[in-house]
Chain A
Amino acid sequence: MNEFWDNVTEQYDVKKILEEFIKRKRVPHAFIFSGQEGVGKFNTALQFSKYISKEFDSSSQIILKKINSLQEPYVKLIFPLPRGKGETAEDSATEKLNKDQIDLIHNEMKFKAANPYHRINIEGANTIKINSIRDINKFITTSFSDIGFRFIFIIDSHMMNEQAQNALLKNLEEPPKGIIFFLLTNEKNKLLPTIISRCWNIEFNPLSVMTIKNILINYHSITEKNADLIAQFAKGSLTNALGLFNADIADTLARTISFLRYSIGGRFYSAYREFNEIVNVKSIEDFRKIISFIKLWLSDVNRNKYSEGKYYFDDYSDILSKFNEKYSKSDVDNVFNSLNLLEELSKKNLNLNVLTLNLIFDLASLAIRK
């Protein structure tokens, strides 16, 4: 391994594939890096870019530093942006934004340059605008023959609407020499087949619990006990892990358990009240997070039934045994499927109250003794 790959945590398969391109001196002009959030797609793209520059263009340390700090014209960063007041198709992507929004963008880009695992978060930014794609067009048609390689990172590329994706297509088809695209996404299915077929697709794996734990301890000064707990529930994603850290996971787990107790015990109003206390300001993300916790609890139930290994809800293992004693015939798999359905439905902008009530009644069905 080399200095660039050393900066990429895990992702051994990905590194192997990319290394092979370098060895064969044939690097494709466009990549799709897919996989869940917080597994290092952006960082891998960034390190790979530096590797390419060094290997094929003998780029100096200054240029590598500029790539690292995401400076144009070496790197073009495209990400979802909010819409400006009175913005039309002719304006540039940032022209009509107000000063606060521009300052926020500057800050977020600074954070991203300082920490490639940082997730850019701008209020109201829910699409990659077609104006941003036009910027790409200008970027690649302007002559930069004095620069060997220029890299275009499209973060959350699934947030391009169909029109924007079609606009991007032409650039993907025949980019000028030295341009390399990286489309980063955690929802590859939202990209057009025509885009996917023009790029080299690389899947990223979730990070191991150990790695997440180490990152949390070393970079975010989180205590070992807490890090251990968070890493278990992060599902292989650092973004999830940090989200859990901010939400005080121990408290959330305790509340999830009491919500389960109320639901299964038929105390629906208490369950509903408890749930609304966990889910902040009716956030659909929080809803999904709780569902995923409950799913983990259900898998613990099954593990306990067949007395297998370690539990996610290790601190609450006595509850698991009690549950299995009392409701030995409950149809856990069926409830699990219902939860999957609810999770799907939550993506379709359904009323959160309706979803919550469905969740409570689904859980209550666990208590039916046949």
Chain B
Amino acid sequence: MEFKVNSKELEKLLSKIIPAVPTRTPMPILENFLLEVKDGLLTVYATDLEISLKASINIITDENVKLVVPARLLNDIVRSLKDTSIYFKLTSNKKVNLITDTGKYVISYLDPEEYPDIPSVVADKDTKDIFEASINGLELKNAFDKIAFAMSKEEMRPAMMGTLFDFSEEGLRFVTTDGHRLANLLKKDGKFSFVQQYVVPERAISVLSKLLDEKEVKMLLTKTYVSFKLSDIELITRLIAQKYPDYTSVIPLENEFLLKVKTKEIHDSIKRMMLFSTTSTRRVKFSLDKTMVEISAEDLDIGASGEEKVECEYNGEKLEIGFNSTYVNDILNHMSDCEEIIFKLHSPTKAVIIEPVEKKENQDLMMLLMPVRLNN
């Protein structure tokens, strides 16, 4: 059995698959690629049991074979080769010879039966309720960039460790929260005839984010996993099997006071005030007035304090409200492309909504932040 591939093509393929290979895992089999040659197609699989990646290239061969080879070794050797042809030649003693014009490399391979099953959404005919959706790759990447930061790292509420994909007639809504802040982005360009919620784990989001390009992404959604089909690679992730908390119930409806500020100005000011906020609470205080918001912070431990004034437009009563400056900074970091933003408030103890003034076409972005109590 032998087949031939171009080293650069294979390198490109492997470099996309390798992120799914776990390091220092108690299951050594996962540190391998599964190579499948079938009907003139070489498909490479990798999985960490949570996410799986697979990609294919065309090769010339008549035979079919499956083998499991050490992922990093294969990746490293292929990466270090110049543009050349590699012949894969299987020998009887469970070795695969990689032969180039100038070299020969021998790698042991394992039986494919030992490799975990890679879920395949299409082949899974028994699964009812398979839904399909598609979205532009860059749009999806942009959505992840905006909202992924608010995913929780707290294991006690596993659902919040992922991103909610909420499909409805309105469009596709992405929600993340850790209980202190919430990021909510609605993509209105596609309408969906089904109403379904899927919680995609953090690892899938971060790996996928690096793979996305301007091409269309096809999503196949089942109760157990979601497959993201990109032009040249497929990512299949298992979902988090827990119901996402009802995020709509925490979004306040009566926030009538509006504070409009320039994003960059308030962000710069917050960055400076972070230097003066107490390390334990990271608290900053916003004192709101008609045309000016005063932002102040105080670190009693080292006896330092700071205050700044930022121009604003505010239509409510005088109000003092405290926030965790790290969270404000996170939110502003992810809204830096909006020139102006609006804070919607009600009282010093109610959640605050932060939105861009100029909404993008077909996209609603909303951040929600819980205030912290001020001592007075």
Contact pick for B240, options A97, A102, A141, CB 8 Å: A141
B155 contacts across to A, CB distance below 8 A: 134, 137-138, 167
Contact pick for A94, options B26, B156, B159, B242, CB 8 Å: B26
A307 to B341, CA, bound (A): 96
Query: B222-261: which have CB < 8 Å to A?
Result: 223-225, 238-242
A142 contacts across to B, CB distance below 8 A: 49-50, 201, 238-241
- Contact in complex: B238, A94 (CB < 8 Å): no
A71 to B113, CA, bound (A): 12
Report A262-293 CB contacts with B as 1/0, cut-off 8 Å: 00000000000000000000000000000000
Report B14-27 CB contacts with A as 1/0, cut-off 8 Å: 00000000011111
Contact pick for A141, options B26, B49, B224, B241, CB 8 Å: B241
Query: Is B119 an interface position by the 8 A CB rule?
Result: yes
A138 to B240, CA, bound (A): 9
Query: Is B316 an interface position by the 8 A CB rule?
Result: no
With contacts A62-B113, A72-B49, A90-B153 known, is A105 near B241, CB below 8 A? no
A90 to B202, CA, bound (A): 14
Query: A31-85: which have CB < 8 Å to B?
Result: 62, 69, 71-73, 77
The contact size tier of chain B is 20 to 34
Contact pick for A102, options B24, B113, B127, B156, CB 8 Å: B24
- Contact in complex: B116, A143 (CB < 8 Å): no
Q: A118 → chain B, closest Cβ, in Å?
A: 16
- Contact in complex: B27, A72 (CB < 8 Å): yes
Query: Is A146 an interface position by the 8 A CB rule?
Result: yes
The contact size tier of chain A is 20 to 34
B242 contacts across to A, CB distance below 8 A: 141
A176 contacts across to B, CB distance below 8 A: 241
- Contact in complex: A170, B24 (CB < 8 Å): no
Query: Is B303 an interface position by the 8 A CB rule?
Result: no
Q: A31 → chain B, closest Cβ, in Å?
A: 22
- Contact in complex: A143, B238 (CB < 8 Å): yes
- Contact in complex: A73, B49 (CB < 8 Å): yes
Interface core residue of A92, A95, A134, A141 (most chain B CB under 10 Å): A141
B50 contacts across to A, CB distance below 8 A: 138, 142
Query: Is B103 an interface position by the 8 A CB rule?
Result: no
Interface core residue of B27, B119, B153, B156 (most chain A CB under 10 Å): B27
- Contact in complex: A71, B26 (CB < 8 Å): no
A137 to B153, CA, bound (A): 13
A71 contacts across to B, CB distance below 8 A: 27, 29, 114, 116
Q: B235 → chain A, closest Cβ, in Å?
A: 15
With contacts A141-B240, A141-B241 known, is A146 near B153, CB below 8 A? no
- Contact in complex: A145, B26 (CB < 8 Å): no
A93 contacts across to B, CB distance below 8 A: 26
- Contact in complex: B26, A95 (CB < 8 Å): no
- Contact in complex: A106, B224 (CB < 8 Å): no
A167 contacts across to B, CB distance below 8 A: 155
Query: Is A144 an interface position by the 8 A CB rule?
Result: yes
- Contact in complex: B223, A143 (CB < 8 Å): yes
Q: B130 → chain A, closest Cβ, in Å?
A: 13
Query: Is B158 an interface position by the 8 A CB rule?
Result: yes
- Contact in complex: B223, A145 (CB < 8 Å): yes
A144 contacts across to B, CB distance below 8 A: 224, 238, 241
A residues at B contact (CB < 8 Å)? 62, 69, 71-73, 77, 90, 92-95, 97, 102, 105-106, 109, 134, 137-138, 141-146, 167, 170, 176
Q: B51 → chain A, closest Cβ, in Å?
A: 10
A69 to B240, CA, bound (A): 26
Q: A71-B114, A72-B49, A144-B241 are in contact. List 14 more A-B contacts (CB 8 A).
A: A69-B114, A72-B27, A92-B24, A97-B24, A102-B24, A105-B26, A134-B155, A141-B158, A142-B201, A142-B238, A142-B239, A142-B240, A143-B223, A146-B124
CB closest residue in chain A, given B157: A141
Q: B129 → chain A, closest Cβ, in Å?
A: 12
Contact pick for B26, options A77, A90, A143, CB 8 Å: A77
Interface core residue of B23, B24, B29, B239 (most chain A CB under 10 Å): B24
Q: A217 → chain B, closest Cβ, in Å?
A: 33
Q: A62 → chain B, closest Cβ, in Å?
A: 7
- Contact in complex: A95, B24 (CB < 8 Å): yes
Report B141-176 CB contacts with A as 1/0, cut-off 8 Å: 000000000000101101100000000000000000
CB closest residue in chain B, given A108: B26
A102 to B31, CA, bound (A): 12
CB closest residue in chain A, given B113: A62
Q: A178 → chain B, closest Cβ, in Å?
A: 10
CB closest residue in chain A, given B199: A143
Query: B308-361: which have CB < 8 Å to A?
Result: none
A92 contacts across to B, CB distance below 8 A: 24
A144 to B237, CA, bound (A): 11
Q: A352 → chain B, closest Cβ, in Å?
A: 35
A106 contacts across to B, CB distance below 8 A: 26, 28
Q: A212 → chain B, closest Cβ, in Å?
A: 31
Q: Show 25 A/B contacts (Cβ-Cβ < 8 Å), sorted by A.
A: A69-B114, A71-B114, A71-B116, A72-B27, A73-B49, A77-B26, A90-B153, A94-B26, A95-B23, A97-B24, A102-B26, A106-B28, A109-B26, A141-B240, A141-B242, A142-B49, A142-B239, A142-B241, A143-B241, A144-B241, A145-B223, A146-B124, A146-B127, A146-B224, A167-B155
CB closest residue in chain A, given B48: A72
